[in-house]
């Protein structure tokens, strides 16, 4: 007899709490092996293929492509021939799940435990799963209205919260998903249909009392099954023809991080123009020899690593709870990369130990992975200093926002020919603007100016870098 095991969305690490289903890699009825990837999800950090720790037949999938699920929500169920996996574990363990997870992570939930809205939990493990032979899955029927009583066909806790917060009675909705599953879009459509909101016993919503709130009537209190009465918040006005773009995934993560940086970091910016003619000549000479080509970004990274060795205050972070500045002894260099999915900041580990050739290779690898959307969360976190080459967009300068929780970011504008006084005479030289945004808590202007001046000196005279290595 087969046992039906439920596989939930695992904790993907780095504080991630939800993920969006991008693409299912298996269908209901497919046979899967232990550690076989079953779904591709997008987190706020990267695209991740999630492997299933069970081997057997897929009996159900939860969530359509494009659905956002919280960590711990069901992903799929698998009918297996044995009640437990091998004692050695699946071997492909993500953070927060796996066959050798601690007992607290493998908590059993009794089948039929009622939720607040009347829906019963699905069996979570083999201990609570009912034995049943594996049968071929039936084709999904057409969407039907949710029954007035009994379980409500909703999987996502996010959908339930959206309905609860806005006073929508899920039993009055017709799900547009498979088997009548109620999706986020169904609730959002219901928000524009007053009849779908929960009302009185007669099914009619009571009229809103004429209470003055900024010239508007206060919204009427509504009740949901098994929950106290709540007040539905007023919906924001929808402009004619406006397009709404959810702040989620990479865009949402960028918004959260930049907002936090602005709230917490008292930043300041200084900048300087530098003559990059000699740096470009040095790169040309290096690439004239046999061997891999050296990128300009790699040379700038070498300069940053050397500058941070001289001014370690800028390779630090602030522990606000302890009220301490934490100076870091390793340089993990982030660099801004624009992709089709948005702005990401891959991190080159131990940049201070790498030569120009190694840096070039790592920049290339991470950039290709960023454009393909295959960067792992570990490759997008842990940076200690960021290098931002916005000159590729054809702009001269900027005031970058510090990449929280780092303490500084160096911005590099485009390199263009400009009039410049060189050796006492006016000449056309290759000029670049360098800008440094820094956390004023970790240092004062003298340190920041010294760092930026050293970087500019190395750009103008690469030999300065050789003398300090």
Residue 458: HSE in the Cβ half-sphere, 13 Å Cα cutoff: 21
* 332: annotated active-site residue: no
Q: CA angle, corner 71, sides to 247 and 117, nearest 5?
A: 95
Backbone Cα Rg of the chain: 28
Which of 352, 404, 422, 440 is catalytic? The answer is 440
CA 360 to chain centre: 26
d(CA 273, CA 276): 9
Would residue 237 be called left, alpha or beta, if left means φ above 0 and alpha means ψ between -120 and 50 degrees? beta
Question: Are the beta carbons of 405 and 396 closer than 8 angstroms?
Answer: no
Q: What is the DSSP letter of 362?
A: H
Calculate ∠ Cα 348-353-356, nearest 5°. 75
Q: How many CB atoms lie within 10 A of CB 105?
A: 13
Selection from 343, 423, 322 nearest residue 389 by Cα:
343
Q: Which residues pair with 435 in a beta bridge?
A: 271, 411
Cα separation, 84 vs 90, in Å, equals: 11
Distance CA 35, CA 54 (A): 7
Question: Is the link from the previous residue into 405 a cis peptide, with omega within 30 of 0?
Answer: yes
Positive or negative torsion for Cα 306, 312, 313, 315:
positive
- CB atoms < 10 A from the CB of 310, how many? 12
Q: What three-state secondary structure class fits 336?
A: coil
CA 345 to CA 413: how far, in whole Å? Answer: 18
The answer to whether 403 touches 345, Cβ cutoff 8 Å, is yes
30-36 long-range contacts, Cβ below 8 Å, gap at least 24?
30/57, 30/58, 31/56, 31/57, 31/58, 32/56, 32/57, 32/58, 32/78, 34/85, 34/86, 34/90, 34/91, 35/90, 35/91, 35/92
348 neighbors 363 (Cβ within 8 angstroms): yes
Catalytic residue numbers read 440
């Amino acid at each position: 007899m087969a046992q039906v095991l439920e596989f939930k969305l695992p904790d993907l690490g780095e504080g991630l709490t939800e993920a969006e289903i991008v693409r299912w890699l298996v269908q209901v009825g497919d046979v899967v092996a232990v550690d076989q990837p079953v779904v591709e999800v997008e987190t706020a950090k990267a695209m991740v293929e999630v492997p299933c720790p069970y081997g057997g037949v897929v009996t159900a999938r939860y969530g359509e492509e494009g659905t956002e699920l919280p960590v711990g929500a069901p992903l799929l169920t698998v009918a297996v021939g044995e009640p437990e996996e091998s004692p050695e574990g699946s071997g492909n363990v993500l953070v927060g799940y796996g066959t050798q997870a601690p007992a607290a992570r493998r908590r059993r939930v009794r089948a039929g435990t009622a939720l607040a809205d009347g829906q019963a939990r699905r069996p979570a493990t083999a201990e609570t799963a009912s034995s049943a032979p594996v049968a071929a899955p039936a084709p999904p029927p057409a969407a039907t209205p949710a029954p007035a009583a009994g379980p409500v066909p909703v999987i996502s806790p996010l959908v339930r919260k959206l309905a609860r917060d806005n006073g929508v009675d899920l039993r009055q909705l017709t799900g547009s998903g498979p088997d009548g599953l109620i999706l986020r879009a169904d609730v959002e459509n219901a928000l524009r249909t007053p009849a779908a909101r929960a009302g009185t016993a007669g099914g009619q919503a009571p009229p809103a009392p004429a209470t003055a709130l900024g010239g508007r009537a206060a919204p009427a209190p509504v009740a949901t099954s098994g929950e106290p009465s709540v007040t539905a918040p007023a919906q924001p006005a929808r402009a004619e023809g406006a397009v709404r773009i959810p702040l989620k995934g990479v865009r949402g993560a960028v918004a959260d991080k930049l907002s936090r940086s602005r709230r917490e970091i008292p930043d300041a910016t200084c900048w300087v123009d530098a003559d990059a003619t000699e740096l470009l000549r040095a790169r040309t000479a290096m690439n004239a020899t046999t061997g891999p080509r050296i990128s300009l970004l790699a040379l700038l990274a070498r300069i940053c690593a050397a500058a941070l060795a001289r001014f370690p205050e800028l390779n630090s972070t602030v522990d606000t709870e302890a009220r301490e500045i934490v100076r870091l002894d390793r340089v993990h260099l982030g660099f801004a990369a624009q992709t089709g999915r948005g702005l990401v900041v891959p991190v080159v580990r131990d940049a201070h130990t790498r030569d120009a050739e190694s840096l070039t290779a790592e920049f290339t690898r991470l950039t290709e992975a960023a454009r393909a959307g295959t960067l792992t969360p570990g490759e997008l976190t842990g940076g200690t200093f960021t290098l931002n080459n916005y000159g590729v967009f054809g702009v001269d300068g900027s005031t970058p926002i510090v990449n929280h929780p780092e303490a500084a970011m160096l911005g590099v504008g485009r390199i263009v020919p400009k009039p410049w006084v060189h050796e006492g005479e006016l000449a056309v030289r290759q000029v670049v603007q360098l800008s440094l945004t820094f956390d004023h808590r970790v240092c004062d202007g003298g340190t920041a100016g010294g760092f930026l001046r050293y970087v500019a000196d190395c750009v103008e005279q690469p030999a300065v870098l050789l003398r300090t290595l």
